[in-house]
Amino acid sequence: MPSLLELKNVSKIFYGAKGRRVRAVDKVNFSLQKEEPQIISLVGESGSGKTTIARMILGLLPPTEGGIYYLDKDIYAMDKNERKEFRREVQAVFQDPYGIYNPFYRVDRVLEIPIKKFNLATSKEDSQRLITEALEAVGLRPKDIIGKYPHQLSGGERQRVMLARLYLLKPKLIVADEPISMIDVALRALFLNILLDFKNKYGISCIFITHDLSSAYYLGENLIILYKGRIVERGKTNEILTNPYHPYTKLLIKALLPPDPEKRILTSIGSDVRLNEDIAPYKENSCHFANRCPSSMDICREKAPVAVKINEDHEVRCFLYDEKG
C-alpha cells in the first residue's frame, strides 16, 4: 500500500574522535499512510535521536543505513523535479525561533521565498495578498510584522510567522521539531491548536517531535517513544498512555508534573524510581535502557530486544514481554 512517508530500517551512525561510533538512530521503522491525514508524535529526551530523524526525513542528512521514502520514492535518490515536488510538499517548523531567521533580511523574506520558489502567486499583488492572509490566519497583524527585522519581533511572533509560512504553503506533511519548547505557555496552546486545524481543515499530516508527553497527548492519534535511537514503544496515543508497557514509558508518564497542587508527586518522590542519569556507556547489543531500568534482567544486557505486538494498536520492545527472550 503506498504510503505518504516511510522509514525502512533507518540508522544513522556518527563517527567521533578516536574511531568512536555512535548509533544515534538504530533501525527505525515507521510510516504515515496516504489516504487520511494523521498526526504522529515522536517523544524522546535529548540523545534519543529525534532531531536526527527529523533532519533525515527533511532530506538534510542522509541515513547511514536504510531508506526514507516519500510517496514510495527514495528521497535521497530523487531527480530535480521529484526533489522540487518533495520540497513543496514536505515542510518543517523548527525549535529555535531565533536562529531560523537570517538576521540580514527582513522577516517578510521568509514568506516571500516559498511563494517565489514554488510559484504560489501570479503577481506581486497576489503575493502580498497571500502573505497578509497567512499572517492574519495565525493571529498576527500584518502591519506589525511586514518590514520588520527578526530582532524587532518577540520569540512568539517569530514562531507564529513560521506557522504563517506553513499556512501559505499548505504542504502535505509537516515535520515539527520541538516547535513549542522555546515559546511561552500561552502561545503553545495556540500553536498546537493550529496544527490540529491544519490537519482537520487542510488535510496536512504532521510528525510532531517533542520531549513533552502532554503535548503529544493533546495532539492525540499516534505515538512513538524513542530511547537512545530506538523505538521502544509505539501505537495509539490513548492506548499507550492509559496502558504503558515499557519501563521507560512508565518513567516518562511518572515524570509528568500534573498542574494540580492537590496532586503532588515531587515532594514524595523518594528513590523508588531510579532517577540517576545514565552516563555509563552501553553496548550496542543490549537494551539501551538496561542501566536505568528498575526491572532489568540479565538478558537485557546481552541482547537487543525485538518488537512484540501487544495488540493491533500497541507494540513494545522489551524482554519483559518477550516470551522467546
Partner 1 sequence: MKQTQLDPKLIIGGIIIFFLLFLVLFQPLLNKAIIGDTNPLTVGIFPMYEPPSLRHPLGTDRFGRDILALTLLSLKYSLIVGAIAGAISTIIGIIVGFSAGYKGGLIDTILRGLTDTILVIPSLPILMILSAYVKALNILTMAIILTIFSWPFSARVIRSQVMSIKNAFYVDLAKINNMSDFEIIALEILPNLLPFLGVSFAGSVVGAMLAATGLEVLGLGPSGITTLGMMINFAIGQGALSMGKWNLIFPPIFMLVLVFLGVQLVNMGLESTYNPRLRR
Partner 2 sequence: MEEILKIENLKIYYRNVSGLAKAVDGVYLNVYPNEILGIAGESGSGKTTMISGLVRLVKPPAYIPEGSIFLNYKRNGDLLKVDLLKISENEMRDFRWKIISYIPQGSMNSLNPVLRIKDQMIDVILEHSDRSREEAESMVPNLLRSVNLEPNVADLYPHELSGGMKQRVIIAMALALNPKVVIADEPTTALDVVSQMSVLSTLYQVCRKVNASLILVTHDMAVHAQLTDRVAIMYAGKIVEVGRTTEVFKKPFHPYTKALLLSIPTIEGEPRRLEGISGLAPSPTNWPRGCRFHPRCPYSKEVCKEREPEMIEFGPGHYVSCFLYGGE
Q: Which of residues 204-233 bind partner 2 (CB under 8 A)?
A: 211-215, 217-218, 220
* From 54-62, 129-137, 251-259, 303-311, span contacting partner 2 (CB under 8 A): 251-259
What is the rounded distance in angstroms from the CA atom of residue 158 to the CA atom of residue 179?
Answer: 11
Which residue among 29, 77, 84, 133 contacts partner 1 (CB under 8 A)?
Answer: 84
Minimum distance, C-beta of residue 312 to partner 2, in the bound complex (Å): 22
Minimum distance, C-beta of residue 20 to partner 1, in the bound complex (Å): 20
- How remote is the C-alpha of 281 from its chain's centroid? 26
| Residue 142 is a binding residue for partner 2 (CB under 8 A) | no
Q: Which of residues 6-35 bind partner 2 (CB under 8 A)?
A: none
Dihedral sign for Cα atoms in the order 289, 256, 226, 229: negative
User: Which residues is 231 bridged to in the sheet?
Assistant: 226
What is the rounded distance in angstroms from the CA atom of residue 158 to the CA atom of residue 161?
Answer: 5
What is the rounded distance in angstroms from the CA atom of residue 243 to the CA atom of residue 203?
Answer: 29
What is the x/- site pattern for partner 2, positions 170-209, by CB under 8 A? --------------xxxxxxx-xx----------------
Residue type, 6: E
Residue 114 near which of partner 2, partner 1, none (CB within 5-8 Å, type-dependent): partner 1
| Residue 265 is a binding residue for partner 2 (CB under 8 A) | yes
User: Which residues is 23 bridged to in the sheet?
Assistant: 13
* Residue whose C-alpha is closest to residue 183's, from 220, 137, 138, 248: 138
Minimum distance, C-beta of residue 4 to partner 2, in the bound complex (Å): 26
Angle between helical axes of 124-137 and 155-169 (0-180°, round to 10): 120
Contact 177, 93 (CB under 8 A): yes
In this structure, what C-alpha cell is assigned to residue 304? 537487543
Residue 133 near which of partner 2, partner 1, none (CB within 5-8 Å, type-dependent): none
Q: Under the rule (CB under 8 A), what is the footprint of partner 2?
A: 45-46, 139, 144, 154-157, 184-190, 192-193, 211-215, 217-218, 220, 241, 251-253, 255-267, 269, 275-279
Q: Under the rule (CB under 8 A), what is the footprint of partner 1?
A: 55, 58-60, 83-84, 87-88, 91-92, 94, 96, 99-105, 110, 113-114, 117-118
